Amino acid sequence: MEFGVKSGSPEKQRSACIVVGVFEPRRLTPVAEQLDEVSEGYISNLIRRGDLEGKAGQMLLLHHVPNVLSERVLLVGCGKERELNERQYKQIVAKTIQTLNETGSMEAVSFLTELHVRGRDTYWKVRQAVEAANNSVYTFLQLKTKKGEPRRPLRKMVFNVPTRRDLTLGERAIEHAQAISVGVKVAKDVANMPPNICNPKYLNEQAASLVEQYDTLSLETIGEAKMAELGMNSYLAVGRGSANESIMTIISHKGAADDQAPIVIVGKGITFDSGGISIKPSEAMDEMKYDMGGAAAVLGLMHSVAALNLPLNVIGILAGCENMPDADAYRPGDIITTMSGQTVEVLNTDAEGRMVLCDALTYVERYEPDTVIDVATLTGACVIALGKHATAVLSSHNPLAHEIINASEQSSDKAWRLPLWDEYQEQIESPFADMANIGGRPAGTITAACFLSRFTKKYNWAHLDIAGTAWVGGARKGATGRPVPMLTQYLMNKANIALDE
């Protein structure tokens, strides 16, 4: 979709549709007021008759409003003025886009960016509107034979900003939002792809075609033979039960001098997690195709980073692998020597993500990174702790944790920190090996992070558990593309610091 910004009065816009807000109960926003005046009370008349209460998300489409140049006016309920918050703003924008998409307006001018959202400026409102619009028109129809797309879909949306001085800010917001949306879409597409198509090789091919598009990007592929040479026995153990080869894909973005230490983002890429020999129950097992949500986010993120051409060196790792039960599969009781030399007693083959990530996290030591962040659909316990709304952040490096939480707030891509205290380390002790791969039911998200922490001593590290946020289940099942917005924001912030220095 195409976006633009403008600053002008509503009645003079020549568009298929203009979008203006109405508060509850039946109170016109200043812009709606303006239209009401030029149309000699047309709008207030309708509202008085009870056509629109103004409840958040209510829509009323009007045609040929007197003295208004646009063909249509869409009145959008915005709820009580004082109660308008970030979440409601995003929901209202999404609903508006949906309505425009279904009612034949191929372009529209929206005045919703003039609503007052506490603590947020024009930049934020435009950026969120663009991201919400892109999210709301997203579909995954590649594998349907009858696509059922709207006949006259919305193609262009222009946001009106209060003054001409806001135009540059608005344009920046659109540019940033579009770069983020590209990453989100890439992440959603690859995550929604079924596991019979999306295997580690497919992830590698997607990365290869991304790298083709940008000069700053380059690709490296580590297959099973190379992993064996490197001693990545833990990563290999997980993939041993699968007919699909384990492949670790490395995407590098070179945006700064060679001597600038890179930021490395590692994504868990289990393209299907059956649990292995510790097999999962069959209910909703299909959703374990999303167990590569971390790798999907890293692929999307690298697209965003390249699109923004950030002046940083960033390395994205897709830790591709499939966890299946098989005669050759790894088993509970096995003791494995990881690439780091530390040994792990496997107590549950379904705790496979950490087995793959620990070797990937050792591998990245060679980059002498400034910071390493891993992103993983790592624990069901995370969904129990935080539900579907927040990504869990775990780090023993306070400044890094704060930077991530800040980026999360700026980008409205929710995250919440959990503790990573030493006390929890005891839970993963093993009588036979250096550690066990599970720590029992209490604090499962934290003990998983404790496990990873033992492989990340050589750099500043944070772990993001996206088990609750990478996709939504139920009737509207689908990948979310999270946490691409938060991570892109984190890197954008890093880039500004680098520019100032």
**Closest to 107 in 3D by CA, of 36, 22, 6:** 6
CB of 495 to ligand BES, least distance (A): 31
* 380, 397, 409, 425: which one binds ligand BES (CB under 6 A): 380
Helix 122-136 with 167-192: angle, nearest 10 deg: 30
CB of 365 to ligand BES, least distance (A): 24
The footprint of Mn ion on this chain (CB under 5 A) covers a number of residues equal to: 3
Taking CB under 5 A as the rule, does residue 291 contact Zn ion?
A: yes
Stretch of residues binding ligand BES (CB under 6 A), selected from 82-90, 189-197, 375-383, 386-394 = 375-383
**Closest to 69 in 3D by CA, of 17, 147, 122, 6:** 17
In the three-class reduction of DSSP (H, G, I as helix; E, B as strand; rest coil), residue 452 is classed as helix
* 260-289: contacts with Mn ion (CB under 5 A): 273
Q: Which DSSP string corresponds to 94-112?
A: HHHHHHHHHTT-SEEEE-G
Q: What, of Mn ion, Zn ion, ligand BES, none, does residue 190 touch, CB below 5 to 8 Å by kind? A: none
Q: Toward ligand BES, which CB reaches closer, 54 or 293? A: 293
**Residue 460: which H helix or E strand, with range?**
strand 460-465
* 264-293: contacts with ligand BES (CB under 6 A): 273, 291
CB of 350 to ligand BES, least distance (A): 4
* Positions of E strands within 37-112: 59-63, 72-77, 107-110
Taking CB under 5 A as the rule, does residue 273 contact Zn ion?
A: yes
Q: Which residues contact residue 187 at a Cβ distance below 8 angstroms, ignoring those fewer than 6 apart? A: 293, 296, 297, 299, 300, 301, 479, 481, 484
* 337-356: contacts with Zn ion (CB under 5 A): 353
Say which amino acid occupies 317: I
Task: Pick the catalytic residue from 280, 417, 458, 477.
Answer: 280
Annotated catalytic, 280? yes
Taking CB under 5 A as the rule, does residue 322 contact Mn ion?
A: no
Largest CA distance in the chain: 84
Q: Which two tokens stand for residue 187?
A: 């992440």
* Length in residues, the chain: 501
Distances (CA, A) of 473 to 285, 421, 476: 11, 32, 6
Decide if 280 contacts 168 (C-beta within 8 A).
no
CB of 273 to ligand BES, least distance (A): 5
Task: Pick the catalytic residue from 127, 188, 240, 354.
Answer: 354
**Residue 392: which H helix or E strand, with range?**
strand 391-395
Q: What, of Zn ion, Mn ion, ligand BES, none, does residue 296 touch, CB below 5 to 8 Å by kind? A: none
Give CA–CA dist 466/293, Å, rounded.
8
> Mask: binding to ligand BES, 442-461, rule CB under 6 A, as x and -?
--x-----------------
Give me Rg for the CA atoms of the chain. 25
* 113, 379, 395, 408: which one binds ligand BES (CB under 6 A): 379
Taking CB under 5 A as the rule, does residue 350 contact Mn ion?
A: yes
The footprint of ligand BES on this chain (CB under 6 A) covers a number of residues equal to: 16
* 351, 433, 435, 486: which one binds ligand BES (CB under 6 A): 351
Stretch of residues binding Zn ion (CB under 5 A), selected from 232-240, 265-273, 279-287, 449-457 = 265-273
Give CA–CA dist 283/73, Å, rounded.
46
CB of 385 to Zn ion, least distance (A): 17
> Mask: binding to ligand BES, 329-348, rule CB under 6 A, as x and -?
-------------------x
Q: Write out the residues near Mn ion by the rule CB under 5 A.
A: 273, 350, 352
Question: Which residues are designated catalytic?
Answer: 280, 354
Q: Write out the residues near Zn ion by the rule CB under 5 A.
A: 270, 273, 291, 353
Q: Write out the residues near ligand BES by the rule CB under 6 A.
A: 273, 291, 348, 350-353, 377-381, 383, 438, 444, 467
